[in-house]
Amino acid sequence: MKLSAFGEKFGSTSGVQVLMDDIGDALASGRDMIMMGGGNPAAIPAVEALFQERMRQLSQDPQQLNKLLSSYDPPQGNATFIADLAALFRKQLGWQVSERNIALTNGSQAGFFMLFNMFAGSCNDGTYRQIQLPSAPEYIGYADAGLEPDFLVAAHPQIDELGGREFKYRVQFDELSIGAQTGAICVSRPTNPTGNVITDEEVEHLDAMARAADVPLIIDGAYGVPFPSLIYTQATPFWNDNTIVCLSLSKLGLPSARTGIVVANEEVIQTIARTNAIINLASGNFGAALTQNLVHTGDIIRLSNEVVRPYYEQQLALTKSVLHREMGTSIPWAMHKPEGTMFTWLWFKGMPITSQELYERLKARGVIVVSGHHFFLGIKDQWRHRHECIRVNYAAQSPQRIEQGLAIIAEEVKKAYAH
């Protein structure tokens, strides 16, 4: 079988594919695996009950059920849902947006595939442009979204060691080279995998750099504001006509609904809609149907702030406590300052084995994490730090399973240093 360059690229192994395969293989194996690797959100009882009731309402309303199951939405997405989103963003965030500034996609992953290839790669003027990541580590799903090679470039972060077994990544602006080779700047806020939240000042600096270079600033808010609001520090929502904000319903508790939301200027939204028509005909409307009332009333923000975020903060508090107890003080470990998301990013300074070897040892013991080297996108050198970190998801586990999983991680890390 002779594949095109496209076929070879997307048919080969990628970090995100390995991550998703591990989840599927572990679930199919029949083993009692502690799943601390993927990005699956927690099943929060109050949230599930709300969506169950909404599904019951839809199932008993023939008109709404017919619309849900039997009709295509426009390529831009469900018009009523988009109008309610625009009203929510104007009222709650002060963003000057209308229905022409919002499009829906089949999940954020699909949205980033379209956006990245809109702004980077080979251009009709003969240039080749790249997506600039202000720093790595960054979201693993960006790694293979480009149709062409050498698609991403990133700067090394500044590492501030804070004490108390915590550290924080900061953008090193003097390492950023924004110019003719740049198609767009992209940053996640908060950042998957680390939980880092770039400061308001860093956002404004990136916005100034983007405007000076006449390229868009893309902010991935899949874990951010206004929903699901998994930010545990101060962070002002940011949008303007040169900024593209990407949101999602996944971490609110609807990962299978595959609903991404793109907020941008009208030209970008029109291009997204036209691309969506070619790739998908239309976006699915299940997520819009389930959350329509929540968005219309603004209760989606209350749900995020009063139910979803406190649940994850409780899981985080337990995780921090167990880590300090199990890791102890005999090895040089630290966690990234937990400012957002549902992950703990652990750094084992000078660890004698690589993070991939640690991942294999943990997998053999029934604990699935993600090796940190997958997340250093756009950094070409073999920086040792990239092989000293792992990402741990504390979202979907019971307190007992969190303690069990972290205890096994601590045991294997101590064994690695001992030998």
Rounded Cα–Cα distance for residues 137 and 391 (Å): 11
Among 246, 240, 156, 230, which residue's Cα sits nearest to residue 204? Answer: 240
pLDDT at 30: 66
Return the CATH class of domain 5-47+303-418. alpha beta
- Average pLDDT value for the chain: 94
Helix boundaries (H) for 164-308? 200-213, 250-253, 266-280, 286-297, 299-303
pLDDT at 22: 66
12 pLDDT more than 90: no
pLDDT at 19: 65
23 pLDDT more than 80: no
- Per-residue pLDDT band for 64 (boundaries 50, 70, 90) equals confident
Among 28, 216, 58, 222, which residue's Cα sits nearest to residue 140? Answer: 222
Q: Which one-letter DSSP state was computed for residue 231? A: B
Domain ranges, ordered by start, for the chain: 5-47+303-418, 73-299
Report the share of the chain in percent with pLDDT over 90.
84
pLDDT at 317: 97
- Per-residue pLDDT band for 177 (boundaries 50, 70, 90) equals confident
pLDDT tens by residue, 105-159? 999 999 999 999 999 999 999 999 999 999 999 999 999 899 998 999 999 999 9
pTM comes to 0.94
Rounded Cα–Cα distance for residues 240 and 347 (Å): 35
C-alpha distances in Å from residue 273, one per residue of 79, 284, 337: 12, 13, 38
pLDDT at 419: 75
69 pLDDT more than 90: no
Task: Calculate Rg over the CA atoms of the chain.
Answer: 21
pLDDT tens by residue, 349-380? 999 999 999 999 999 999 999 999 999 999 98
Q: Which residues contact 270 (CB under 8 A, 6 or more apart)?
A: none
Q: Mean pLDDT over residues 314-338, rounded? A: 96
pLDDT at 138: 97
17 pLDDT more than 80: no
Q: What are the tokens at 299?
A: 């209760």
Among 153, 152, 193, which residue's Cα sits nearest to residue 169? Answer: 193
- Per-residue pLDDT band for 31 (boundaries 50, 70, 90) equals confident
- Per-residue pLDDT band for 18 (boundaries 50, 70, 90) equals low
pLDDT tens by residue, 279-322? 998 899 999 999 999 999 999 999 999 999 999 999 999 999 99
pLDDT at 32: 81
The 3-state secondary structure of 80-148, one letter per residue: HHHHHHHHHHHHHHCCCCCHHHEEEECCHHHHHHHHHHHHCEECCCCCEEEEEECCCCCCHHHCCCCCC
- Per-residue pLDDT band for 58 (boundaries 50, 70, 90) equals very high
Q: Which residue shows structure tokens 């077994």?
A: 165
pLDDT at 173: 97
pLDDT tens by residue, 91-120? 999 999 999 999 999 999 999 999 999 999
C-alpha distances in Å from residue 42, one per residue of 149, 280, 341: 35, 29, 12
Question: CATH classification of 73-299, choosing from 3.30.499.10, 3.40.630.30, 3.40.640.10, 2.40.50.100?
Answer: 3.40.640.10
